[in-house]
Amino acid sequence: MKDLAKLEKEFQERIDRGENIEPKDWMPEKYRKTHIRQISQHAHSEVVGMLPEGNWITRTPSLRRKVALLAKIQDEGGHGLYLYSATETLGISRDELYEQLHSGRAKYSSIFNYPALTWADMGAIGWLVDGAAIINQVMLTRTSYGPYARAMVRICKEESFHQRQGYEILLTLCRGTAVQKAMAQDSLNRWWWPSLMMFGPPDAESTHTEQSMKWKIKRKTNDELRQQFIDNTVPQADILGIKVPDPDLKWNEERGHYDFGEINWDEFWQVVKGHGPCNKERMDARRKAWNNGEWVRDAAIAYADKKAEKNIAKAV
């Protein structure tokens, strides 16, 4: 058996060559563990992220908007299942992952602990939240763990539709009455800063970024992705004719980026620690759905067992 140092050295050389690591390959325990952490939290985010939008399915202003919102929410559920499958390749069961979420031990993205108060929020979530997710997820299509990178390719294609349908909702509102445009501006005011927090704490305070960059789990740091999102999104707000709620936002010709104001990291950590506006509501809803769905899971398992018994009887 090769010694650990040799295995770790060969592993890092594979990463440095840009090779994908596959489930059956040797990997440092910490590499495996940090992937279980990140991919499962990504999956939890997709599933919990269905809740704020789910509240608006019965309140959409038209059938067309309802169909688009239903399709988006369905996609998010699929992304969650995809990412749970990617996590299972690392040797943890789905039940364990759900237990980590429902017990509050696992995180999900802070952004989903904010309330969706008006129809314009369906636009802001698509435009800003899915827009931020795309910036992050396009980078993750080149992450070093094979199953995660491949899951991202499929998810990013659907994410682009999510972002576009959100932006179109806001474009419609901004071209509507003064009240509709004010609703869009109010939504941008409430979702702008929490969307910047989605990329995680500043690099200097990030627990995992340095190692994640070394292992090419991340190809860009939290701050780099955040800056990319701001640079992409501010011109889109200009087209809508609504104002980003940051008095310090200013194009910096020298840097070739927007300078922006201080993010309220106390608020971020409060939300991450469970004290956000909707943390309790989101977890209660998840636990209730899990408990109410027990009979469906039992029926599906009973059916699958029966089918397996029949196939074995046929085979002997």
CA distance 250 to 248: 6
Contact region for ligand 3HC (CB under 6 A) — 18-26, 34-42, 60-68, 239-247? 34-42
- Note whether 212 binds ligand 3HC by CB under 6 A: yes
Q: How far is the CB of 140 from ligand 3HC (least distance, A)?
A: 6
Q: How far is the CB of 112 from ligand 3HC (least distance, A)?
A: 8
- Residue with Cβ nearer ligand 3HC (23 or 201): 201
Is residue 183 within 8 Å of 119, Cβ to Cβ?
yes
Helix (H) or strand (E) holding 252: strand 250-252
Contact region for ligand 3HC (CB under 6 A) — 128-136, 184-192, 228-236, 278-286? 128-136
| Options 40, 100, 165, 222; binder of ligand 3HC; rule CB under 6 A | 222
| Options 128, 151, 197, 283; binder of ligand 3HC; rule CB under 6 A | 197
Q: How far is the CB of 250 from ligand 3HC (least distance, A)?
A: 25
Mark residue 200 as left, alpha or beta (left: phi above 0; alpha: psi -120 to 50; beta: remaining). Answer: left
Q: How far is the CB of 299 from ligand 3HC (least distance, A)?
A: 29
Site for ligand 3HC in 68-97 (CB under 6 A): 76, 79
CA distance 178 to 251: 28
CA distance 219 to 94: 27
- Give the tokens for residue 51: 């809740």
Neighbours of 197 (CB within 10 A): 23
| Options 52, 123, 200, 276; binder of ligand 3HC; rule CB under 6 A | 200
- Note whether 23 binds ligand 3HC by CB under 6 A: no
Neighbours of 126 (CB within 10 A): 25
CA distance 253 to 5: 47
Mark residue 241 as left, alpha or beta (left: phi above 0; alpha: psi -120 to 50; beta: remaining). Answer: left
- Residue with Cβ nearer ligand 3HC (12 or 160): 160
